[in-house]
C-alpha cells in the first residue's frame, strides 16, 4: 500500500520572516516584534531565525527596506521624459503612499538608508535625477533630505485624527475658532491628503524659484 506523504512545512526563508515581521509591525507596532513572537507565527523554533538574521534590528531593517522597495522610481529613469519638478512630485506621492500604508515602520526608515539596498537605490535615484537636471551636488543632497523629511513627517501622523469626535471638547469660550473641529476626524483621509498636496506644491514652488535663479546666474 502506498502511503501518502506528509505535508511539508514551508521552508523558512528571509522573505517569510520579513513578511511575518511586517504584519506584526503593522498590527501592533515595533515593540511587538520579538524572536519568540515571530517563531510562533512561523511555526518554527526561535533559534532557526538566526540562520537568516542575527538580530531583531536586522529584521526591522529588512522590513523597512521592503517598504522602500514599493516606492516607484520609474520617473527618474533615463528616457522617462518627466522634468525634475514633475518627477519629484510623482515620486513623493508614491513614497508617501508606501509609508502611509505602513506607518509603524517609519521610525526605522527615518534613521536613514544605512546599508539597505532599496533605500540606497531610492537615494541614488533622487540624487542622480537632480544633478542631471542641473542642480549642484550639494543642493541635490539637500533636496533629497528635504523631501524625505517632508514625506516621512506627513506619513507618520494625522492632523485630522488629532481631534476628538466630541463637540463639547471645543468650548467656544476657550477655542473660538474650533467650533467644527470635532468633524475633522471623519474627513481624515481627505484632509491629510489635501494637506500633503498643499505642502508639496508649496515646497516645489520654492524649489522652482531657486532653480530659475540658479539657471539665470
Compute CA distances 145 → 38, 60, 98, 111, 148, whole Å: 33, 22, 18, 12, 5
Q: Over the stretch 52-65, which tens digit does the pLDDT of each residue have?
A: 999 999 999 999 99
Whole-model pTM: value is: 0.87
Question: If you count them, how many residues does the chain have?
Answer: 217
Cβ atoms within 10 Å, residue 210: 12
- pLDDT tens string 166-215: 989 999 999 999 989 999 888 888 999 999 999 999 999 999 999 999 98
Q: DSSP assignment of 88-153, as one string?
A: HHHHHHHHHHHHHTSGGGHHHHTT--TT-HHHHHHHHHHHHHHHHTT--HHHHHHHHHHHHHHHHH
Distances (CA, A) of 44 to 14, 31, 59, 127: 13, 20, 16, 42
Amino acid at each position: 500500500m502506498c502511503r501518502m506523504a506528509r505535508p511539508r512545512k514551508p521552508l523558512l526563508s528571509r522573505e517569510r520572516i520579513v513578511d511575518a515581521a511586517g504584519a506584526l509591525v503593522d498590527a501592533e507596532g515595533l515593540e511587538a516584534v520579538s524572536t519568540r513572537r515571530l517563531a510562533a507565527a512561523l511555526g518554527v523554533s526561535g533559534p532557526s531565525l538566526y540562520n537568516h538574521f542575527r538580530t531583531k534590528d536586522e529584521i526591522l531593517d529588512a522590513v523597512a527596506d521592503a517598504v522602500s522597495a514599493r516606492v516607484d522610481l520609474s520617473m527618474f529613469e533615463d528616457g522617462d521624459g518627466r522634468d525634475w519638478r514633475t518627477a519629484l512630485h510623482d515620486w513623493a506621492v508614491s513614497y508617501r503612499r508606501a509609508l502611509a500604508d505602513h506607518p509603524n515602520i517609519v521610525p526605522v526608515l527615518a534613521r536613514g538608508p544605512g546599508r539597505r539596498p532599496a533605500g540606497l537605490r531610492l537615494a541614488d535615484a533622487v540624487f542622480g535625477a537632480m544633478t542631471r537636471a542641473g542642480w549642484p551636488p550639494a543642493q541635490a543632497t539637500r533636496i533629497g533630505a528635504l523631501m524625505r523629511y517632508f514625506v516621512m513627517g506627513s506619513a507618520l501622523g494625522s492632523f485630522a485624527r488629532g481631534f476628538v469626535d466630541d463637540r463639547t471638547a471645543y468650548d467656544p469660550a476657550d477655542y473660538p475658532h474650533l467650533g467644527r473641529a470635532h468633524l475633522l476626524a471623519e474627513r481624515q483621509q481627505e484632509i491629510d491628503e489635501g494637506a500633503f498636496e498643499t505642502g508639496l506644491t508649496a515646497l516645489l514652488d520654492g524649489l522652482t524659484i531657486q532653480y530659475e535663479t540658479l539657471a539665470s546666474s
